[in-house]
A and B are shown apart, each in its own frame.
Chain A
Amino acid sequence: MIGMWRMETIKLVRHKRWLAVIPAFLITTFISLDNLCAYPKLELNVWDGIFSTFFNYVYFRFIVLLVFVFLVTDTITGDISSKWVYLTLSRCSDRAKWYITKVASIYSAALIYSLLGVSIVFLASLTKLPYAGSLSAFSTNPPDLFKAMGTYVIPKGGNPFTLTAQLILYTSFSLGTFALIPVTLSVIIPKGQIGMIFSLIWIFISQFFQSSRTWMKIDIIPRLVYGAFFYPDALLDFSVSGSLLYLFAVAIGSSIIGIWFVRKADF
């Protein structure tokens, strides 16, 4: 099973379309930095580049999440159309195991994606912001103007390295969990880009309904953003444990449904 998981991860990651990650994160970082650097008196450092990029709901939805969905959601439909499924499924003793390795490979790909994304954003931020071993004054105590606009506030005394590590781990888990939903759908309806289309529609709907408290409570997308825990004036106050529990339930639910359908599926 470990061999299969390794193989599936390499298959997902060693793909030309992963090159899209570089321009996607570079563009997002520079847009984000342009917004911050427009205010000359702010005390910023390189970590602000990372947090302002990954904590922003719009960038997260339309770039970080969308690019990841584009990279992984056809893992099953792609295998069927390329006939790769015949080579792997016939080598795997159990269909459930085969699907579990698919799920595991999505999470591994999410971890690689988050690491890659944070590294790109960090390096790009270094071109405009100075390096520091601690959080900036802006991130722990932003000016009133920014507070009024609703910016993130990181508690004082936080360690940027720990915070970045937490960001990577949380983002990997949340991206992987979200991707499981369209992947499960593609097992039930194995048609071309069904997962991608479904995700795209969801991401847009989520953006338009973000002012609705009821929608925000149900919708998984706002909980995918690690920065959601650092907005003091947010519409909803998410807790880390509550969101992790929610994501965990979605991951288990999607996997069980996926396994149930995979056991009966024709490839």
Chain B
Amino acid sequence: MEEILTVKSLQKTIGQKRILNDVDLTLKSGEILGIIGPNGAGKSTLLKIISGTMIPTAGSVHFSERKGVIGIVPETPAILPALDGFRNLELLASIRKKIGKREIKEAMETVGLDPSNSKPAGTYSLGMKQRLMLAQAIMEKPRLLLLDEPTNGLDPVGIIDLRNLLFKLSDDGVGIIIASHLLREIEVMCHRVVIFSKGRIIREVNLQEQSQGFIEIAVSDLEDWKRLCQWSQENSNSLKELPSKGLPRGLLQTNLTVPDLLPQLIYAGIKIESIQTAEANLEAAFLECARSEGGLYR
């Protein structure tokens, strides 16, 4: 896969505050890259610089196609409230003049909107406005798609539709960058994730590789949790506690499979409530980063 976006030594300073600090990033065609991090970490700033709405203090952003289209879904829906959805898109399309009514209708139908709906877009629900934003971002067949909190306002069906749409675009070779707070969604949608803190990338996680060797375990009570911690130390396995309001829960890194591990834990007297192979472990990676940084939110 060819690289479509290269970000080199990117810096952004506003007043005395450094928002981005030496950010290096690449994106390949068809790749879905997630950006996670606490509020104010610099995620949105990075997307704004890539899209050209913000100017970097230093460094460069290179998009492989000089006249290639970049699609953007902003953090909050931007619409002309007095016009219907189709007219909104038609006006935006008139800037580049690359597509006609047919393509606009197709884009609306792809995201589940009715192009013939003549209600003013200002009366749309938040989910519909978000779908309209997706339609405007994809209607001109972009080579690069930037999404800032794309699941905002989407209902569960909308989130699944979005996921399927992004997978389809990825298969078509579109490079996608998603900034979000929702670890679970990023985990499911992305091939690769970068964790941002204080304007720099503190870790890059390849979700496809990282999914190997992790098992998520929930135990009955704190006594069992202590036994599990002791067992993992004795057997040189790493155990990370996962935040949980219910049963104590953790992520165990091990070479064993669930059928091999389960008898050993039972033999050690640990009462297991649930055990499963972790498909991905972004939450663990994020928490590990938080620990090593002394808490991302501090």
* Interface residues of A, Cβ cutoff 8 Å to B: 3-4, 6-7, 10-11, 14-16, 82-92, 264-267
Could you say which of B54, B74, B75, B94 contacts A3, with CB atoms under 8 Å apart? B94
**Pairs A-B, 10 closest by C-beta atoms:** A3-B94, A83-B78, A83-B74, A91-B95, A7-B91, A84-B78, A267-B53, A266-B54, A14-B82, A86-B74
- Whether a CB of chain A sits under 8 angstroms from the CB of B181 is no
Judging by beta carbons under 8 Å apart, are B14 and A266 in contact?
Answer: yes
CA distance A37 to B108 in the complex (A): 57
Judging by beta carbons under 8 Å apart, are A90 and B72 in contact?
Answer: yes
Chain B interface, DSSP helix/strand/loop, else mixed: loop
In the complex, which residues of chain A have a beta carbon less than 8 angstroms from the beta carbon of B76?
83
Judging by beta carbons under 8 Å apart, are B92 and A90 in contact?
Answer: no
- Whether a CB of chain A sits under 8 angstroms from the CB of B229 is no
In the complex, which residues of chain B have a beta carbon less than 8 angstroms from the beta carbon of A86?
48, 51, 53, 72, 74, 78
CA distance A38 to B72 in the complex (A): 61
- Whether a CB of chain A sits under 8 angstroms from the CB of B59 is no
Given A82-B78, A86-B72, A267 contacting B54 (CB threshold 8 A)? yes
Instruction: Identify 14 residue pairs between A and B in the complex whose beta-carbon atoms are under 8 Å apart, listed by A's number.
Output: A7-B94, A7-B95, A84-B79, A87-B78, A88-B95, A89-B51, A89-B52, A90-B52, A90-B72, A91-B92, A91-B95, A91-B96, A264-B55, A266-B14
By beta carbon, the residue of chain B nearest A6 is B94
CB distance from A132 to the nearest CB of B (A): 39
Chain A interface, DSSP helix/strand/loop, else mixed: helix
In the complex, which residues of chain A have a beta carbon less than 8 angstroms from the beta carbon of B82?
14-16
- Whether a CB of chain A sits under 8 angstroms from the CB of B179 is no
In the complex, which residues of chain B have a beta carbon less than 8 angstroms from the beta carbon of A15?
82
Given A89-B52, A90-B70, A266-B14, A11 contacting B95 (CB threshold 8 A)? no
CA distance A217 to B289 in the complex (A): 66
In the complex, which residues of chain A have a beta carbon less than 8 angstroms from the beta carbon of B72?
86-87, 90
In the complex, which residues of chain A have a beta carbon less than 8 angstroms from the beta carbon of B48?
86, 266-267
Could you say which of B53, B77, B92, B96 contacts A85, with CB atoms under 8 Å apart? B53
Judging by beta carbons under 8 Å apart, are B92 and A87 in contact?
Answer: yes
Given A11-B80, A14-B80, A266 contacting B55 (CB threshold 8 A)? yes
Considering only residues 39-74 of chain B, those with a C-beta below 8 Å from chain A are 48, 51-55, 70, 72, 74
Given A83-B78, A87-B78, A87-B136, A7 contacting B54 (CB threshold 8 A)? no
By beta carbon, the residue of chain A nearest B14 is A266
CA distance A14 to B87 in the complex (A): 12
In the complex, which residues of chain B have a beta carbon less than 8 angstroms from the beta carbon of A88?
92, 95
- Whether a CB of chain A sits under 8 angstroms from the CB of B287 is no
Other A-B contacts than A10-B83, A89-B52, 11 sampled, CB-CB below 8 A, are: A14-B80, A82-B78, A84-B79, A85-B78, A86-B78, A87-B78, A87-B136, A89-B51, A91-B96, A92-B95, A267-B54
Given A11-B91, A88-B95, A83 contacting B75 (CB threshold 8 A)? yes
* Interface residues of B, Cβ cutoff 8 Å to A: 14, 48, 51-55, 70, 72, 74-80, 82-83, 91-92, 94-97, 136
CB distance from B99 to the nearest CB of A (A): 12
In the complex, which residues of chain B have a beta carbon less than 8 angstroms from the beta carbon of A91?
92, 95-96
CB distance from A100 to the nearest CB of B (A): 13
Given A83-B76, A267-B48, A7 contacting B92 (CB threshold 8 A)? yes
CB distance from B61 to the nearest CB of A (A): 13
CB distance from A265 to the nearest CB of B (A): 8
CA distance A6 to B52 in the complex (A): 22
Judging by beta carbons under 8 Å apart, are B51 and A90 in contact?
Answer: yes
In the complex, which residues of chain A have a beta carbon less than 8 angstroms from the beta carbon of B75?
83
Given A16-B82, A84-B78, A86-B74, A10 contacting B91 (CB threshold 8 A)? yes
CA distance A10 to B117 in the complex (A): 20
CA distance A149 to B232 in the complex (A): 99
CA distance A6 to B48 in the complex (A): 25
CA distance A15 to B81 in the complex (A): 8
CB distance from A222 to the nearest CB of B (A): 35
CB distance from A177 to the nearest CB of B (A): 26
CB distance from A6 to the nearest CB of B (A): 6
